[in-house]
Chains A and B, each alone.
Chain A
Amino acid sequence: MERILFYVIAIIAIVFALASVISRKMLRSVIYLLFVLCSIAGVYFMMDYNFLAAIQLTVYAGGIVVLIIFSVLLVHHIELELEIAKFPKQLATGLLCLAGLGVFLYTIYMHDFQVIGNQTTTSTHDIGSKLLSYEEGGFILPFEVISILLLAVMVGAIILAKGTLTSNSETKQP
C-alpha cells in the first residue's frame, strides 16, 4: 500500500518537475512547482516527519510560491510566451544531465547503505528541544544565526524593492 502510494507521489513529482522546467508559460510553470512541493510534503508525511511536512507546506507552498507568483504578475504579461534555448543547446544540456544522472545513480546503487529498520517516531517536542538546547549537540547557535539572517534579509528585501523609487526622485548620480 505505502509502496504504491510512494510510486504515485514520485511519478507526480517528477512529471510536474519536468513540466515546470519545460512549460513556456510562466504562471503555469510556477503552479507546476507548487504540485512538486506538495508531493514532496507527501513524502515527508510518509516518512513520519509531520512537523517537516507542515513546514514544507507553509513555507514553500504557502510562502515561496506565492512570492514567485507575485513577482511573475508584477513583471510579466500573463500571455507572454517565454524565450527558450535553441535546440542544440537543449540537446547538449539534456545529454549532460543524463550523463550526470547515470554517474550519480551508479554511485548510489554501488554503495551499500546500512539501513536500520526500526520505527521510531520523532515528535515536534524532540525537534524543538534539540533546536533550543545549548548542551553538546544542541543547535541554539545556528538557530539564532538563522533568525538574524532572516531579519537581515527582510530589511534588505524591503530596501531593495523600494529603494529605486527614492533614488530616482533624487538627483541622478552615477
Chain B
Amino acid sequence: MIPGVSIYEIFTVTTLLFFIGVYGFITRKNLISILISIELILNSSVVNFVAINKYLYPDMLEGVVFAIFIIAVAAAETALAVSIIISLYRQISAVEVKDIETMKY
C-alpha cells in the first residue's frame, strides 16, 4: 500500500477516470476518439484490480494476474480496432460514426 493514501482516494481517482472515459465515449463522433475513451475505461478498471489486491489481499496475486490479462486483451482489441478502422477508411474514406453504416451486412 502507499503510505498515507487510503483506498478511498485511489477509488475516487479511478472512478473519475472511468466517467471521463464514458463521457468521451458518448460525446465523440470519431472512431479513434472512441477507442481512446475505451482505453481510459479499461485502464481505470485495471487500477481498481491492482489497488484491491494491494490493499485488501496483499498476500494474493490474483489481481495482478488479472491486470496482466486485461492489458493483453486491451492490446488485442486495439490492434483489431485499428486494422478495422484502416480498412474502413480505404473503402469509404471516413472514420466518423455516422458514415459507417456500410458495415451492416
Contact = CB atoms under 8 A, between A and B. Distances in A.
Interface of A: 2-3, 6, 10, 13-14, 17-18, 20-21, 26, 29-30, 33, 36-37, 40, 43-44, 46-49, 51-52, 55-56, 59-60, 63-64, 67-68, 70-72, 74-76, 82-85, 89-90, 93-94, 97-98, 100-101, 104-105, 108-109, 113-120, 122, 126-127, 130-131, 139, 142, 146, 149-150, 153-154, 156-158, 160-161, 163-165
DSSP class of A's interface residues: helix, strand, loop or mixed?
A: helix
Contacts, number: 219
A105 B15 contact: yes
Interface string B86-105: 11011100011000000000
Interface residues of B, number: 72
Nearest to B1: A117
Nearest to B94: A75
Contacts of A157: 79-80, 82-83
A151 B68 CA distance: 16
Given A46-B2, A71-B32, A113 B56 contact: yes
Given A68-B36, A146-B72, A14 B17 contact: yes
B55 A113 contact: yes
Interface of B: 1-13, 15-24, 26-30, 32-33, 35-37, 39-40, 43, 46-47, 50-51, 54-59, 61, 64-65, 67-69, 71-76, 78-80, 82-87, 89-91, 95-96
Contacts of A64: 39, 74-75, 78
A65 to B, nearest CB: 9
